[in-house]
Chain A
Amino acid sequence: MKEVLLIKNGELALKGLNRRTFEDMLIKNMKHRLSSLGKFNFNVQQSTIIAEPEDEETDLDAAVEKVGKIFGIAAFSRAVACEKNFETILRKAAGYLEEDLECASTFKVEAKRSDKKFPLTSPEICNQAGGFLLERFPHLSVDVHNPDIVVNIEIRDTHAYIHGRQIKGAGGMPTGSAGRALLLISGGIDSPVAGYMMAKRGLSLSAVHFASPPYTGEKAEQKVHQLLSKVAAYSGRIGLWVVHFTEIQESIKDFCPEDIFTVIMRRMMMRVAQIIAARENAGALITGESVGQVASQTMPAIACTDKVCEIPVFRPLIGMDKDEVIDISRNKTDTFDLSILPYEDCCTVFTPKHPRTRPTLDYVERAEEAFDWKPMVEKAAETARLVVID
């Protein structure tokens, strides 16, 4: 029995002349992601991509899990391909969906006939297949409005395909179709979600993490690795740059007013990140900021931070509540449980007691002049260590 995956690429179908480019990119991504399971052949029929494993022993359960996390796919289903002979189709449908039909108590049949040369029309297929299945599984009854299971029969050019339930895909655009951006990741709840959301819009990800040993430990960095590997399940491979940030943080602590410590720290982070972004050929930075969440994320504070950035900074969570973010980290990225592990991260070291919520640019810039940060920033960017997360 030959099982395949039928993949519907939602938004891509709306693209104009470069639709082909997007499709090719999606296929390339799928090939890469599924490569660990074996070789798959892809072919495009109308707006559906058919992924067919070369080896029949391929683990399709694992493939389904992986495909469910590839951006650019609206929905997909596991199907069995068979010869376009009605007898065969009926037999295959009963055999292939036996387990689902045994579980269900109501069902209906839906047919799609894109090959108009097939002798039966769609309603005729539904009728006859429905009758056949009722006889075969006497505990079932037909419910066309709210069935437990829908038996889909698609008659296409080369084969007929039979599938049950359609699985919702990850949505979005194929990763890489929008270029590359650099994610600033701390280890909290927000940044992995921000990375996930931008990857959904087709960005490839690189990441930068600021470590401040001995204030932060090895476990904090490991946590970031684990968080990113969850994000990488969606976005593909991520290059993580770990920046040694202690020297800069200690200098800010020593030379600058306490109430704007965090704002200055974030400006420094942005400077380091931009140097790394240039190295990684990334066109933007991504952060998990949300207006008003903490003192350094008020509008004036963000304005001060933004002033040092020459490339755009994407903040996909800017208008979201914490529980909306938690919802995504629980149900999509599956990073919540990791994020709440209690390790110190670079943002919680040296936090001021009473941070200024409305810093002015003038005040911040003057405060920064107190020490020579330029060589420190360059050194931090230069000595950053690369870890590849798959």
Chain B
Amino acid sequence: MNFRAFCSIIHRNICTFWNFARDVFYGPAYERSVRVTTAYLDNSATTKPCRQAVDAVVSALENEWGNPSSLHFSGLEASALLEKSRSAVASSLMCGSDEIYFTSGGTESNNLALYGAAAKMRRYGNRIVSTAVEHPSVYETLSALGKEGFEIVRLPVDGYGRVNENDLFDAVNSETILVTMMYVNNEVGTILPVKALRRAVTRAKAPALIHCDAVQAYGKLEVRPKSLGVDLMTVSSHKIHGPKGAGALYVSRDAALMPRVFGGEQEKKLRPGTQAMPAIAGFGAAAGELKDIKTNLERVTNLRDYMLAELERAGDIAVNSPPDALPYVTNISVLGVKSEPMLNYLSSKGICVSSGSACSKGKKSRVLTEMGLSRERAETPLRISFSRFTSKEEIDYLIEMISQGKKEIRNIR
């Protein structure tokens, strides 16, 4: 035995002994009782991959690395994994496996849905109805469609980011070929009246397909395209503790789209190209973990209420999210402190929050402007977004650091 091996054995023994002694003296919860000094509260930007997703990604790279379209056994293994992931995503949405198409993520799903529907439905009419507070991947796609000659109607919102249902009924006419609305706003958490889309379309006898960007709602609410009455729905893997690089588009059996890219027969020709198996496997595993949605929602609601009560007690806070918003996404303004210095300060203390959408960093928020917020509030927003793993300790730490930040940053000024 050489010296190095000897040392490692001694080291291991000492570690085992130390762990044992620590458990005896402090109890096994030793590590958990340590005070938190970090808090990840930007779960609307992305989430930490869960254990199951990480394992699935690794396994897909090490074991089922075949091409799912190949005829040999290696391909069959990969295609079994692909279909397993597909059915996990399908059952989290309570729809059929054949209605799930894998893409590279939310942005691609939204582009495919909107462009694909517009190209397919062009001969039935010209109007597309949406809202003023959509995610850039919808907003910009619609702008591009507008340049191609479609008439884009963007419904205005009130001070809480809410859409008036009557405006929707007025906007949808018999020439409308597509209606798209996000389920939950990514910056302020407002829940939009997606269910009313079907009412508006049927009442107007419009040929329209209905699309819903459910990226922020997926995994946090019971999202069921069928009971919402939508034809197309976007979901993404990395917002539900899966890896980046995978997303899905739900396309109901009654709807048809034109593809945006062309190639092989993967994803029934709607989205050709060899599937990104590791990411998709991780997506499937993460989707399989979406249980107890109601209990998690209750817990996060309590956390959010606790946080807002504490912050308001400290003063100088305006809440930009409506009271009935999805509690997972909470937007506040720390009056008097601009977002960026506060963000940097919190970051230096180990806390991750954001000033708005991660997709348009730095710019002044379009959503908050549309909501008609005062200049002071629009310049000082903080988006605090929770996940089902967020703990009360993290919130306590955030509350403490925000009030500390308010003092320190003002001193600097």
Contact = CB atoms under 8 A, between A and B. Distances in A.
Interface of A: 59, 61-62, 99, 102-105, 139, 148, 217-219, 222, 337, 343
Contacts of A218: 71, 73, 76
Contacts of A105: 203, 205
A337 B99 CA distance: 13
Contact of B203 (A61, A104, A222, A343): A104
Interface string B238-276: 000000000000000000000000000000100000000
A139 B169 CA distance: 11
Contact of A61 (B94, B198, B205): B94
B203 A219 contact: no
Contacts of B226: 61
Contact of B268 (A61, A103, A217, A337): A337
B227 A61 contact: yes
A263 to B, nearest CB: 30
Contact of B202 (A103, A139, A337, A343): A103
B122 interface: no
Interface in B189-236: 195, 198-199, 202-203, 205, 226-227
A139 B76 contact: no
B198 A222 contact: no
28 contacts: A59-B94, A61-B94, A61-B226, A61-B227, A62-B94, A99-B195, A99-B199, A102-B199, A102-B203, A103-B198, A103-B199, A103-B202, A103-B203, A104-B202, A104-B203, A105-B203, A105-B205, A139-B203, A148-B202, A217-B71, A218-B71, A218-B73, A218-B76, A219-B71, A219-B76, A222-B76, A337-B268, A343-B71
A148 B204 CA distance: 12
Contacts of B205: 105
A103 B210 CA distance: 14
Interface in B100-135: none
Contacts of A343: 71
A96 to B, nearest CB: 15
Nearest to A148: B202
Contacts of A61: 94, 226-227
Contacts of B227: 61
Judged by DSSP, the binding face of A is: helix
Nearest to A338: B98
A59 B203 CA distance: 27
A132 to B, nearest CB: 20
A205 to B, nearest CB: 22
A218 B94 CA distance: 30
Nearest to A61: B226
Interface in B132-160: none
Interface in B53-67: none
A99 B226 CA distance: 13
A99 B76 CA distance: 44
B64 to A, nearest CB: 15
Nearest to A218: B76
A347 B198 CA distance: 47
A139 B202 CA distance: 13
A337 B226 CA distance: 22
Contacts of A222: 76
A248 B347 CA distance: 74
Leading 8 A-B pairs by shortest Cβ distance: A103-B202, A102-B199, A103-B199, A217-B71, A219-B71, A105-B203, A103-B203, A218-B76
A99 to B, nearest CB: 7
Interface string B279-291: 0000000000000
Nearest to A139: B203
A104 B205 CA distance: 9
A102 B203 CA distance: 8
Nearest to B202: A103
A86 B76 CA distance: 60
Contacts of A99: 195, 199
B379 to A, nearest CB: 41
A337 B202 CA distance: 30
Nearest to B75: A219
A102 B227 CA distance: 15
Contacts of B202: 103-104, 148
Nearest to A337: B268
A105 B76 CA distance: 51
Nearest to A62: B94
Nearest to A342: B265
A217 B73 CA distance: 10
B173 to A, nearest CB: 13
B247 to A, nearest CB: 23
B24 to A, nearest CB: 47
Nearest to A217: B71
A105 B73 CA distance: 56
Contacts of A148: 202
Interface in B362-377: none
Given A61-B94, A217-B71, A337-B268, 17 more contacts: A59-B94, A61-B226, A61-B227, A62-B94, A99-B195, A99-B199, A102-B203, A103-B198, A103-B202, A103-B203, A104-B202, A104-B203, A105-B203, A148-B202, A218-B73, A218-B76, A219-B76
Contacts of A337: 268
Contacts of B198: 103
B96 to A, nearest CB: 9
Contacts of B268: 337
Contacts of B94: 59, 61-62
A104 B202 CA distance: 7
A105 B202 CA distance: 9
Contacts of A139: 203
